[in-house]
Amino acid sequence: MNKVRSGILVFVVIFTMAFAFSSCSKNEVYLNDNWVLTSFTVDGETSSADLTDLNTPRFFCDDTLNVIFYIYGKMHSGKAQPTGDRTFRISYQDTDECMLAEITNEELIITPEDSDSFEMRFRLTDERTLIPTSDLEEVEGIEASFVTLDPLTVSFTNNTQEQWVYSEYYRIEKLDGGIWCLLPPDRPVTVRDIAHEIGPNMSSTLSYDLTPYGDHEDGEYRIACGTDTVCYAYFTIE
Protein backbone atom coordinates (compact mmCIF):
# COMPACT_ATOMS: atom_id res chain seq x y z
CA MET A 1 0.00 0.00 0.00
CA ASN A 2 2.84 2.44 0.86
CA LYS A 3 4.42 1.81 -2.54
CA VAL A 4 1.14 2.53 -4.27
CA ARG A 5 0.62 5.68 -2.23
CA SER A 6 4.10 6.86 -3.13
CA GLY A 7 3.27 6.39 -6.78
CA ILE A 8 0.03 8.26 -6.28
CA LEU A 9 1.80 11.27 -4.82
CA VAL A 10 4.05 11.49 -7.82
CA PHE A 11 1.28 11.01 -10.34
CA VAL A 12 -0.96 13.38 -8.45
CA VAL A 13 0.78 16.30 -10.02
CA ILE A 14 0.53 15.19 -13.56
CA PHE A 15 -3.19 14.95 -13.63
CA THR A 16 -3.54 18.57 -12.75
CA MET A 17 -2.02 19.59 -16.02
CA ALA A 18 -5.15 18.25 -17.67
CA PHE A 19 -7.18 20.84 -15.91
CA ALA A 20 -4.69 23.47 -16.92
CA PHE A 21 -5.10 22.44 -20.53
CA SER A 22 -8.85 22.82 -20.26
CA SER A 23 -8.32 26.38 -19.12
CA CYS A 24 -6.05 27.05 -22.08
CA SER A 25 -8.51 25.74 -24.64
CA LYS A 26 -11.95 26.67 -23.33
CA ASN A 27 -11.48 29.44 -20.76
CA GLU A 28 -13.58 27.33 -18.39
CA VAL A 29 -10.79 27.35 -15.83
CA TYR A 30 -8.05 29.83 -15.08
CA LEU A 31 -4.38 28.98 -14.76
CA ASN A 32 -4.23 30.01 -11.11
CA ASP A 33 -6.96 27.55 -10.14
CA ASN A 34 -5.80 24.58 -8.07
CA TRP A 35 -6.88 20.97 -7.55
CA VAL A 36 -6.85 19.43 -4.09
CA LEU A 37 -6.89 15.67 -3.59
CA THR A 38 -10.14 14.58 -1.88
CA SER A 39 -9.92 10.78 -2.03
CA PHE A 40 -8.17 7.88 -3.68
CA THR A 41 -9.18 4.28 -4.30
CA VAL A 42 -6.61 1.48 -4.17
CA ASP A 43 -7.61 -2.12 -4.94
CA GLY A 44 -11.27 -1.21 -4.50
CA GLU A 45 -10.84 0.47 -1.10
CA THR A 46 -11.50 4.20 -0.92
CA SER A 47 -9.74 6.44 1.61
CA SER A 48 -10.14 10.12 2.34
CA ALA A 49 -7.14 12.18 1.34
CA ASP A 50 -4.65 12.50 4.17
CA LEU A 51 -2.15 14.68 2.34
CA THR A 52 -0.63 17.64 4.15
CA ASP A 53 0.47 20.92 2.62
CA LEU A 54 3.83 19.23 1.99
CA ASN A 55 2.23 16.95 -0.58
CA THR A 56 -0.07 19.46 -2.23
CA PRO A 57 0.71 19.66 -5.95
CA ARG A 58 0.66 22.84 -8.01
CA PHE A 59 0.53 23.03 -11.77
CA PHE A 60 0.62 25.48 -14.68
CA CYS A 61 0.46 25.12 -18.46
CA ASP A 62 1.37 27.32 -21.39
CA ASP A 63 -0.23 27.77 -24.81
CA THR A 64 1.62 24.77 -26.24
CA LEU A 65 0.43 22.46 -23.42
CA ASN A 66 3.79 22.29 -21.69
CA VAL A 67 3.14 21.78 -18.01
CA ILE A 68 5.14 22.76 -14.95
CA PHE A 69 4.13 21.20 -11.67
CA TYR A 70 5.47 21.17 -8.13
CA ILE A 71 5.42 18.44 -5.49
CA TYR A 72 7.58 18.08 -2.38
CA GLY A 73 9.07 21.44 -3.30
CA LYS A 74 10.50 20.06 -6.53
CA MET A 75 9.64 21.23 -10.04
CA HIS A 76 8.79 18.76 -12.80
CA SER A 77 7.67 19.25 -16.37
CA GLY A 78 5.34 17.29 -18.62
CA LYS A 79 2.93 17.37 -21.52
CA ALA A 80 -0.86 17.08 -21.91
CA GLN A 81 -2.65 15.74 -24.97
CA PRO A 82 -6.45 15.95 -25.42
CA THR A 83 -8.17 12.64 -26.18
CA GLY A 84 -11.75 13.91 -26.08
CA ASP A 85 -13.94 16.83 -25.04
CA ARG A 86 -12.80 16.77 -21.40
CA THR A 87 -10.37 13.87 -21.33
CA PHE A 88 -6.59 13.91 -21.56
CA ARG A 89 -3.54 11.70 -21.73
CA ILE A 90 -0.78 12.95 -19.48
CA SER A 91 2.91 12.19 -19.70
CA TYR A 92 5.94 13.69 -18.04
CA GLN A 93 9.66 13.68 -18.63
CA ASP A 94 10.75 11.61 -15.62
CA THR A 95 9.08 8.34 -16.64
CA ASP A 96 7.48 6.48 -19.55
CA GLU A 97 4.29 5.84 -17.61
CA CYS A 98 1.20 7.88 -18.47
CA MET A 99 -2.04 8.84 -16.74
CA LEU A 100 -5.58 9.39 -18.01
CA ALA A 101 -7.55 12.40 -16.79
CA GLU A 102 -11.23 13.28 -17.01
CA ILE A 103 -12.84 16.53 -15.88
CA THR A 104 -16.46 16.20 -14.72
CA ASN A 105 -18.10 19.42 -13.49
CA GLU A 106 -15.63 20.63 -10.85
CA GLU A 107 -14.05 17.24 -10.18
CA LEU A 108 -10.91 15.79 -11.72
CA ILE A 109 -10.54 11.99 -11.92
CA ILE A 110 -7.12 10.43 -12.59
CA THR A 111 -6.35 6.78 -13.35
CA PRO A 112 -3.29 4.92 -14.71
CA GLU A 113 -3.33 4.38 -18.45
CA ASP A 114 -2.45 0.66 -18.34
CA SER A 115 -4.27 -0.55 -15.22
CA ASP A 116 -7.15 0.09 -12.84
CA SER A 117 -5.01 -0.27 -9.71
CA PHE A 118 -6.04 3.10 -8.30
CA GLU A 119 -8.22 6.16 -8.87
CA MET A 120 -7.67 9.69 -7.60
CA ARG A 121 -10.34 12.36 -7.25
CA PHE A 122 -9.74 16.08 -6.81
CA ARG A 123 -11.85 19.14 -6.17
CA LEU A 124 -11.31 22.69 -7.34
CA THR A 125 -10.06 25.21 -4.79
CA ASP A 126 -9.23 28.91 -4.80
CA GLU A 127 -6.79 28.54 -1.92
CA ARG A 128 -3.13 29.27 -2.50
CA THR A 129 -1.22 26.95 -0.20
CA LEU A 130 2.42 27.38 0.66
CA ILE A 131 4.41 24.17 0.24
CA PRO A 132 6.97 23.40 2.99
CA THR A 133 10.31 22.57 1.44
CA SER A 134 13.78 21.54 2.56
CA ASP A 135 17.04 23.36 1.95
CA LEU A 136 18.78 22.53 -1.30
CA GLU A 137 22.51 21.94 -1.53
CA GLU A 138 24.31 25.28 -1.82
CA VAL A 139 27.10 26.05 -4.26
CA GLU A 140 30.42 26.20 -2.43
CA GLY A 141 32.47 29.37 -2.66
CA ILE A 142 29.72 31.50 -4.22
CA GLU A 143 28.15 34.33 -2.24
CA ALA A 144 24.72 35.61 -3.25
CA SER A 145 23.21 38.81 -1.85
CA PHE A 146 20.03 40.78 -2.40
CA VAL A 147 20.42 44.09 -4.25
CA THR A 148 16.99 45.49 -5.22
CA LEU A 149 13.38 44.33 -5.16
CA ASP A 150 12.02 45.96 -8.33
CA PRO A 151 13.35 44.27 -10.31
CA LEU A 152 14.50 41.49 -8.00
CA THR A 153 18.26 41.68 -8.49
CA VAL A 154 20.87 39.39 -6.94
CA SER A 155 24.62 39.93 -6.79
CA PHE A 156 26.91 36.89 -7.09
CA THR A 157 30.54 36.87 -5.94
CA ASN A 158 32.83 34.05 -6.97
CA ASN A 159 35.19 33.45 -4.02
CA THR A 160 36.87 30.48 -5.70
CA GLN A 161 39.84 30.22 -8.03
CA GLU A 162 37.77 28.68 -10.83
CA GLN A 163 35.32 29.96 -13.42
CA TRP A 164 31.73 29.61 -12.19
CA VAL A 165 28.92 28.90 -14.67
CA TYR A 166 25.29 29.38 -13.63
CA SER A 167 21.83 29.45 -15.19
CA GLU A 168 18.80 31.74 -14.83
CA TYR A 169 16.57 29.12 -13.18
CA TYR A 170 15.11 30.13 -9.81
CA ARG A 171 12.29 29.66 -7.34
CA ILE A 172 10.83 31.91 -4.64
CA GLU A 173 10.32 30.81 -1.04
CA LYS A 174 8.58 32.47 1.92
CA LEU A 175 9.27 32.00 5.62
CA ASP A 176 6.04 30.80 7.26
CA GLY A 177 6.00 29.90 10.95
CA GLY A 178 9.75 29.41 10.94
CA ILE A 179 9.58 27.03 7.94
CA TRP A 180 10.71 27.88 4.43
CA CYS A 181 7.89 27.21 1.98
CA LEU A 182 7.77 27.16 -1.81
CA LEU A 183 5.69 30.05 -3.13
CA PRO A 184 3.67 28.76 -6.11
CA PRO A 185 3.49 31.25 -9.00
CA ASP A 186 0.13 32.35 -10.39
CA ARG A 187 1.20 31.55 -13.95
CA PRO A 188 4.09 29.82 -15.74
CA VAL A 189 7.54 31.24 -15.11
CA THR A 190 9.52 31.89 -18.29
CA VAL A 191 13.27 31.42 -17.97
CA ARG A 192 15.91 31.78 -20.68
CA ASP A 193 17.93 28.59 -21.05
CA ILE A 194 21.32 30.27 -21.19
CA ALA A 195 24.48 30.17 -19.09
CA HIS A 196 26.40 32.99 -17.39
CA GLU A 197 30.01 32.96 -16.24
CA ILE A 198 31.85 34.69 -13.42
CA GLY A 199 35.63 34.55 -13.17
CA PRO A 200 37.62 33.88 -10.00
CA ASN A 201 37.20 36.62 -7.36
CA MET A 202 34.77 38.47 -9.61
CA SER A 203 31.17 39.61 -9.10
CA SER A 204 28.11 39.96 -11.32
CA THR A 205 24.39 40.69 -10.97
CA LEU A 206 21.27 39.09 -12.44
CA SER A 207 17.64 40.24 -12.32
CA TYR A 208 14.69 37.87 -11.88
CA ASP A 209 11.00 38.26 -12.70
CA LEU A 210 8.65 38.42 -9.69
CA THR A 211 5.54 39.16 -11.78
CA PRO A 212 4.39 35.51 -12.10
CA TYR A 213 4.09 35.40 -8.31
CA GLY A 214 1.35 38.04 -8.16
CA ASP A 215 0.85 40.22 -5.08
CA HIS A 216 3.28 39.62 -2.25
CA GLU A 217 2.35 39.66 1.43
CA ASP A 218 4.71 41.30 3.90
CA GLY A 219 7.31 38.90 5.24
CA GLU A 220 10.68 37.24 4.85
CA TYR A 221 11.55 35.73 1.49
CA ARG A 222 14.47 34.12 -0.27
CA ILE A 223 15.26 33.29 -3.87
CA ALA A 224 16.94 29.99 -4.70
CA CYS A 225 19.07 30.63 -7.77
CA GLY A 226 19.88 27.45 -9.66
CA THR A 227 18.47 23.92 -9.94
CA ASP A 228 20.12 20.98 -8.14
CA THR A 229 22.62 23.19 -6.32
CA VAL A 230 21.63 26.77 -5.55
CA CYS A 231 22.64 30.11 -4.10
CA TYR A 232 20.21 31.69 -1.65
CA ALA A 233 19.63 35.44 -1.42
CA TYR A 234 17.35 36.74 1.35
CA PHE A 235 15.04 39.77 1.24
CA THR A 236 12.13 41.33 3.10
CA ILE A 237 8.83 42.71 1.76
CA GLU A 238 7.08 45.25 3.98
**Spatial separation of the C-alpha atoms in residues 34 and 126, rounded to whole Å:** 6
Whether residue 185 has pLDDT greater than 60: yes
Mean pLDDT (the chain, rounded)? 75
Highest mean pLDDT: which of 27-36, 45-54, 178-187, 195-204?
195-204
**Positive or negative: CA dihedral 177, 5, 72, 133:** positive
Instruction: Give me the percent of the chain exceeding a pLDDT of 70.
Output: 66
Give the pLDDT of residue 211: 87
Kindly state the average pLDDT of the residues 162-179: 90
Whether residue 181 has pLDDT greater than 80: yes
Give the pLDDT of residue 158: 97
Give the pLDDT of residue 4: 46
| Helical (H) or strand (E) element with 219 | strand 219-226
**Spatial separation of the C-alpha atoms in residues 43 and 117, rounded to whole Å:** 6
Give the pLDDT of residue 198: 97
Cα–Cα distances in angstroms (integers) from residue 82 to residues 19, 96, 97, 103, in the given order:
11, 18, 17, 11
**Spatial separation of the C-alpha atoms in residues 30 and 28, rounded to whole Å:** 7
**Positive or negative: CA dihedral 119, 123, 125, 127:** negative
Q: For the purposes of burial, counting CB atoms within 10 Å of the CB of 63, is it exposed (0-12), middle (13-18) or buried (19 or more)? A: exposed
Using a cut of 0.95, tell me whether the model's pTM lies above it: no
**Spatial separation of the C-alpha atoms in residues 57 and 72, rounded to whole Å:** 8
Concatenating the DSSP letter of every residue in 75-130 gives EEEEEEEE-SSSEEEEEETT-S-EEEEEEETTEEEEEESS--SEEEEEEEE-----
pLDDT in tens, 72-115: 556 666 777 888 877 888 787 666 778 888 888 778 788 888 88
Residue pair 189/209 in contact (Cβ under 8 Å)? The answer is yes
Domains by residue range for the chain, with CATH: 2-125 (2.40.128), 131-237 (2.60.40)
Asked which of 25-39, 130-144, 178-192, 209-223 is least confident by mean pLDDT, the reply is 25-39
**Spatial separation of the C-alpha atoms in residues 207 and 87, rounded to whole Å:** 40
Residue pair 19/33 in contact (Cβ under 8 Å)? The answer is yes
Whether residue 1 has pLDDT greater than 60: no
Cα–Cα distances in angstroms (integers) from residue 28 to residues 100, 106, 139, 196, 212, in the given order:
20, 10, 43, 40, 21
Query: Using 50, 70 and 90 to split pLDDT, how confident is the model at 8?
Result: very low
Q: Which residue has the higher pLDDT, 59 or 173?
A: 173
Give the pLDDT of residue 29: 42
Q: What is the DSSP letter of 26?
A: H
Give the pLDDT of residue 148: 96
Query: Using 50, 70 and 90 to split pLDDT, how confident is the model at 67?
Result: low
